[in-house]
Chains A and B, each alone.
Chain A
């Protein structure tokens, strides 16, 4: 058992990885198809990429999606970081546990519930659906992941560092800006990246709160996919895959940096999980 894995286990491993990646590469492969369908490769062509870039509606949605992602992740990171500080500073155990449980409610709730309840909420306060409601929703569901990324960093910080800074004359603000935030920085950065991916990846919540005028990439892909095959979506998926790859690599380096600086062997890839 402790000796090396046997040959069949490698075969199984490779087989599962092929299953996991086949549909993705299948999509990318057909994005280069001369023909219009995903059956039978008629020859190499970049025309679906040209179509995609010429599709002004799609490009506009792409820009919207990134604006929503950046705006919501910056704000969620701000709010979430200070939320994590608040939880960290809460001494009362019951209050702390209550805050932590409430923090995780949106993480464990199914997306439809989150989407439906936000829809009721926005309607209730009379907010019209569109860009604003989408950004607010994305901020809302990204905050807990930021908290979960920042809080462990704060918890592993030696509390004597805060005493030491105050002992050397730092005010509350200086303790925060010079010691606590720099120390938590890898966690904050990781939280920011997770918030971006959460936002880029979200479909269900956006679908509920987007109304008619405004659309993000996920919603657009959904409505186009319901009408059937469109190979410019394949081209888009190739680009999105590259982007994901880039984000994963960036994230991996961030988390490895934080692992190195805290001299811990854990972490690494384990934190980078996006759930639908």
Chain B
């Protein structure tokens, strides 16, 4: 594996008594699109600001291409940021904003001019040089902010919830465009968001943060299919989480019945949590189901119906179905053994990865476990 471009070794951050980041380790490889995903206050923006140099780590080492950069000030780091509310200089026009970094470095005028034009072209704002910031829409300001950061030729671009102020449609477009820009330039993007959908759509690799820690990292597919714990399962996508007991390898018991599944490596009769994604569940005739549920409620979501039901043990089930159901009706619930995902209580990420490698290598692609 190539040397990581950015590396955190036991990095922690605290203010007086408040710990915002507990000993974090991470590695960022050059040229990929990374996402730091977590609820607000989970430490994801702190990690970003530590990389940018706006914060100093309380302990641990931050490495850039193998060199320790803890004491390098922000203006000397080969990293640039797209800020949450863009932070465009209101007293300068579009050209002056994009040219700011280069004019600080004292680059020649014609070079600056050419670069600004190129960058604005890249973000599809060609010819906007003379506009004032106040004349631009939110989406256009967003693009100027990206152009301004990229004009400095950073090796890593940090994006701090850059799309959160945009409306839904525009956000979708920008997600696609950001991904395009990243592929075209081939530089590393580190994107911070609390929107799991955004993270899943854009990233090569996701770090899920919670309460000052990275709780899981992996490809979007890994994280969606194999959440490590209750928090991740709940935070990423919709989940049905019910308590269960692992009778033996590949046999789990929940909702009063035993089911065949594909997980193993646990103690016999270990208490676990069972995750079933609503889109993996099918409503079938009562006698064909693995479980029997009573329909409580349903709402139309455009491309599917979201149906809530409960089984005879009073567990609640969410189901996404293409056809409507009848409230109060008893129906069967069907799912495949692969749809059942088991989460051990308090399992560390190392143990989790090791277990997956041991038992699942037939299905997993190799990437999931080689990170540590």
Q: Is the CB of A169 within 8 A of B105?
A: yes
A140–B88 Cα distance when bound, in Å, is: 36
Rounded to whole angstroms, the CA-CA distance of A174 and B90 in the bound complex is: 16
- Give residues 243-271 of A contacting B (CB, 8 Å): 261, 263
Residues of B98-122 at the interface with A, using a CB-CB cut-off of 8 Å, are 100-101, 104-105
Q: Give min CB distance, B95 to chain A, whole Å.
A: 14
CB <8 Å contact, A171 and B90: no
Our pick among B53, B74, B91, B105 for the contact of A183 (Cβ within 8 Å) is B91
Of the listed stretches B77-85, B207-215, B324-332, chain A binds: B77-85
Contact B100 A160 (CB under 8 A): no
A153-186 with Cβ < 8 A to chain B? 158, 160-161, 163-171, 174, 178-179, 182-183, 185
Instruction: Give chain B nearest CB distance to A235 CB in angstroms.
Output: 43
- Is B85 a contact of A158 with CB atoms below 8 Å? yes
Given A163-B54, A182-B91: A171 in contact with B75 (beta carbons within 8 A): yes
Residues of A within 8 A of B52 (CB): 163, 167
Quick one: which of A158, A167, A179, A182 contacts B75, CB cutoff 8 A? A167
Question: Which residues does chain B contribute within 8 Å of A163, judged by CB atoms?
Answer: 52, 54, 74, 81, 83, 87
Per the bound structure, the CA–CA distance linking A170 and B148 in Å amounts to 13
CB-CB < 8 A to B87: which residues of A?
158, 160-161, 163-164
Distance A169 CA – B87 CA, assembled complex (angstroms): 15
Contacts of A164 in B (CB 8 A): 81, 83, 87-89, 148
B90 and A169 contacting across the interface, CB-CB below 8 Å: no
Instruction: Return A163 CB to nearest CB of chain B, in Å.
Output: 5
Q: Which of A158, A166, A185, A261 lies in contact with B73, CB distance below 8 A?
A: A166
Does A170 contact B104, Cβ atoms closer than 8 Å? yes
B158: nearest chain-A partner, CB-CB: A167
Q: Count contacts on B: residues with CB < 8 A to the other chain.
A: 26
Q: How large is the interface on A (under 10, 10 to 19, 20 to 34, 35 or more residues)?
A: 20 to 34
Which B residues touch A170, using CB under 8 A?
Answer: 75, 100, 104
Q: Give every chain A residue within 8 A of B134 (Cβ-Cβ).
A: 261, 263
Q: How far is the CB of A168 from chain B (nearest CB, A)?
A: 4
Q: How far is the CA of A159 from the CA of B113 in the complex (A)?
A: 28
Bound Cα distance from A165 to B96, whole angstroms: 12
Contact between chains at A261 and B100 (CB < 8 Å): no
Contact of A169 among B84, B89, B104 (CB under 8 A): B104
- Give the residues in chain B near A160, CB-CB below 8 Å: 83-85, 87
Does any Cβ of A come within 8 Å of B152's Cβ?
yes
A168 and B91 in contact, given A160-B85, A163-B83 (Cβ under 8 angstroms): no
B76 neighbours in A (Cβ, 8 Å): 169
Q: Which residues of B contact A261 (CB under 8 A)?
A: 90-91, 134
Q: How far is the CB of B145 from chain A (nearest CB, A)?
A: 8
Complex Cα spacing A179 to B97, Å? 11
Residues of A within 8 A of B83 (CB): 160, 163-164
Bound CA span A172–B149, Å: 19
A168 touches B84 (CB 8 A): no
Residues of the B chain whose Cβ atoms lie less than 8 Å from the Cβ of A166: 53-54, 73-75
CA distance A61 to B25 in the complex (A): 73
**Residue of B whose beta carbon sits closest to that of A175:** B75
A168 neighbours in B (Cβ, 8 Å): 75, 80, 100-101, 104, 148-149, 152
A158 to B165, CA, bound (A): 16
Query: Which residues of chain A come closer than 8 Å to B105, judged between CB atoms?
Result: 169
Give the docked Cα–Cα distance between A160 and B49 (Å): 11
**Nearest-neighbor residue (CB-CB) of A182 within chain B:** B91
| CB–CB B91/A169 < 8 A | no
- Shortest Cβ distance from residue B86 to the other chain A in the assembled complex, whole angstroms: 8
Contact (A179, B89) CB under 8 Å given A168-B101, A171-B75, A174-B104: yes
Assembly CA distance A165 to B152 (angstroms): 12
Residues facing B in A134-168 (CB within 8 A) are 158, 160-161, 163-168
Residues of A within 8 A of B152 (CB): 168-169
User: B residues within 8 A CB of A165?
Assistant: 89, 100
B window 268-294: CB within 8 A of A:
none
Nearest B residue to A179 by beta-carbon distance?
Answer: B89
A55 CB to closest chain B CB (Å) equals 46
* A161 to B73 Cα, complex, angstroms: 16
Closest to A183 in B: B91
CB-CB < 8 A to B54: which residues of A?
163, 166-167
Q: List 20 A-B contacts (CB under 8 A).
A: A158-B85, A158-B87, A163-B54, A163-B81, A163-B83, A164-B81, A164-B87, A166-B73, A166-B74, A167-B52, A168-B100, A168-B104, A168-B149, A169-B75, A169-B105, A178-B100, A179-B89, A183-B89, A183-B90, A263-B134
* Additional pairs, 15, CB under 8 Å, beyond known A160-B85, A167-B80, A183-B90: A163-B54, A163-B74, A163-B87, A164-B148, A167-B52, A167-B54, A167-B74, A167-B79, A167-B81, A167-B149, A168-B101, A168-B148, A168-B149, A185-B91, A261-B91
What are the 10 closest A-B residue pairs judged by CB atoms, nearest first?
Answer: A168-B101, A160-B87, A164-B87, A182-B91, A166-B74, A160-B83, A169-B104, A169-B75, A167-B81, A166-B75
